Amino acid sequence: MKFSYVRCLLVMSTVLASCRGDDDSLEDAVRTLRGQVSALLERRQEDYKLLEESLKNELEKNSQLSSLRDEVETLRREVSLLRGNQQKNDHLTLQWLSSSVTELRAELTELAVAQNTSAELQRRQETESELHLLRGDSAALRRETEELRADVQKGAARAEQAAGDAEAARERSQAAQLTCADLSQQHMGDQKVISVRRSGNTFEELAAGWADSEAVASSMKQETVVPLIARVGNPPLK
């Protein structure tokens, strides 16, 4: 841009030098130069505007770069702070982990206690149910024992009554056997008397017949009464 402006000035000086002899040509040259200068100024203004815009763009770019640089610097400071606080963060992390583990242990302990409590409650319920069943079985056994005792007492009473009845039957049987023996002896004596009267025997023969009849009656009594007493002696229990 500077070289073209200098060249224009040289052209203007050359034109002025060639046109000194003639005023009209000088005026024409001046007008021509004015037009050229105006055109150059306009172009210069346009160049200034373009330059201004380019400068603005450069400034904006520089401002963006500066902002980016500021952000990068800020990030560097933050990273430095984070690196400096790493030990502190690690210590805090360890404390948090320790507290978390402690809380988990407490919760596990509570769960274990609750589980043990529920298991103990279940065992107590099972024990109570078993005790209830045992009480029921014991009551049933007591009732059965009382019933058996009553049956035994009834059986003993029936046995005692049967023994009394057997004794009475034995006595009645003995009395009946004695009566039968006496009646048989009397009948045999009567038969002897009748036979003696029919045959005409003496009194001694009649006495001997009576002795024989008594012996026969005694033997009959032993043969009939003793086995009957043995059979009646142990009557069956009802």
Dist. CA 186–CA 176, nearest whole Å? 15
Q: Name the token pair of 223.
A: 């043969």
Give the torsion sign (CA, 133, 135, 136, 140). positive
Greater confidence (40 vs 225) lies with 40
Residues 70 and 112 both lie in one domain = no
Q: How far is CA 193 from the centre of its chain?
A: 109
pLDDT for residue 24 is more than 50? yes
Range of the structural domain that residue 47 is part of:
2-84
Residue 99 lies in a domain: no
pLDDT for residue 233 is more than 50? no
Residues 62 and 17 both lie in one domain = yes
Residue 165 lies in a domain: yes
Residues 130 and 54 both lie in one domain = no
pLDDT bracket for residue 208 (50, 70, 90): low
Chain segment 103-135, per-residue pLDDT in tens: 888 888 888 888 788 778 888 888 888 888 888
The domain total for the chain is: 2
pLDDT for residue 221 is more than 60? no
Report if pTM > 0.85: no
pLDDT for residue 159 is more than 50? yes
Q: Name the token pair of 44.
A: 């210069």
Greater confidence (95 vs 1) lies with 95
236 torsion bin: left (phi>0), alpha (psi -120 to 50), beta (else): beta
Residues 181 and 69 both lie in one domain = no
Which of 14-18, 62-66, 216-220 shows the highest mean pLDDT?
62-66
Of the candidates 84, 117, 151, which is a domain's last residue? 84
Directed axis angle between helix 203-232 and helix 86-199, to 10°? 170
